[in-house]
A and B are shown apart, each in its own frame.
Chain A
Amino acid sequence: DIQLTQSPSFLSASVGDRVTITCRASQGISSYLAWYQQKPGKAPKLLIYAASTLQSGVPSRFSGSGSGTEFTLTISSLQPEDFATYYCQQLNSYPRFTFGPGTKVDIK
């Protein structure tokens, strides 16, 4: 099974900061990676798929990059509504689409 790790697991940042989250896969997954945002008590929300394609309606301050085993989610200028937990998901091994452990972004 493909395992995903995320770093950091927790980060504290201020409004306006540039934030980068890394997701690493235990084996190459090409660009079969998605990113989700989850706020407390809510369902996950799709941000990015195919490693770098922004989902419709998602603000352009979110971007994704990477391929193979290393991927990044970047928030160019953190906004108050961006404080949440972010998960990566591999979609290479259909249909066992495993998730990373999550990165919680908190207010500094």
Chain B
Amino acid sequence: EVQLVESGGGLVKPGGSLRLSCAASGFTFSSYSMNWVRQAPGKGLEWVSSISSSSSYIYYADSVKGRFTISRDNAKNSLYLQMNSLRAEDTAVYYCARVVATMVRGVINYYFDYWGQGTLVTVSS
């Protein structure tokens, strides 16, 4: 059974740092790109960052670029998000999600098939 379990959330002051982890099990972690998606309280979903299976390709949303760093350890089946210079607007539930690439009607399609339960990050003084 595929499982993604996030941890590391909590209360942090503005300007502070936090490191989120996502422990994966039930699949070959090293074969999949992974993403972080966040959801501010009462708001919609926001894509945050993506990392390819071998960490060769890394991307960030403009809202976190230069402050957040995504990484992974395939030997430990783990995904990470290092968050620095945190702001009040970073307050959200952070989800890790697996990306699948599959052929549909002769074209590669992507989708997020498994998500963790989320971890809450609260940035407040």
Spell out A's residues near B (CB within 8 Å).
Answer: 30-32, 34, 36, 38, 42-46, 49-50, 53, 55, 87, 89, 91, 94-102
Contacts and interface: CB of A to CB of B under 8 A. Distances in A.
Interface stretch (B23-31, B76-84, B110-118): B110-118
A97 B47 contact: yes
Nearest to A100: B44
A89 B50 contact: no
B125 interface: no
A101 B44 CA distance: 6
A99 B57 CA distance: 21
Given A46-B111, A50-B105, A102-B44, 19 more contacts: A31-B105, A43-B115, A43-B118, A45-B115, A46-B112, A49-B109, A49-B110, A49-B111, A50-B104, A55-B111, A55-B113, A87-B44, A87-B45, A89-B111, A91-B109, A95-B59, A97-B110, A99-B44, A99-B47
B118 A98 contact: no
Contacts of A50: 104-105, 107, 109, 111
Interface size for chain B: under 10, 10 to 19, 20 to 34, or 35 or more residues? 20 to 34
B44 A96 contact: no
B81 to A, nearest CB: 15
Interface in B74-125: 95, 99, 102, 104-105, 107, 109-113, 115-118
The 9 A-B residue pairs with the shortest CB-CB distance, nearest first, are A49-B111, A43-B115, A95-B50, A50-B104, A99-B45, A50-B109, A91-B110, A34-B111, A102-B44
B2 interface: no
B35 interface: yes
A44 B115 CA distance: 7
B113 A95 contact: no
A10 to B, nearest CB: 13
Contacts of B35: 95, 97
A43 B116 contact: yes
B61 interface: yes
A30 B113 CA distance: 20
A91 B111 contact: yes
Contacts of B50: 95, 97
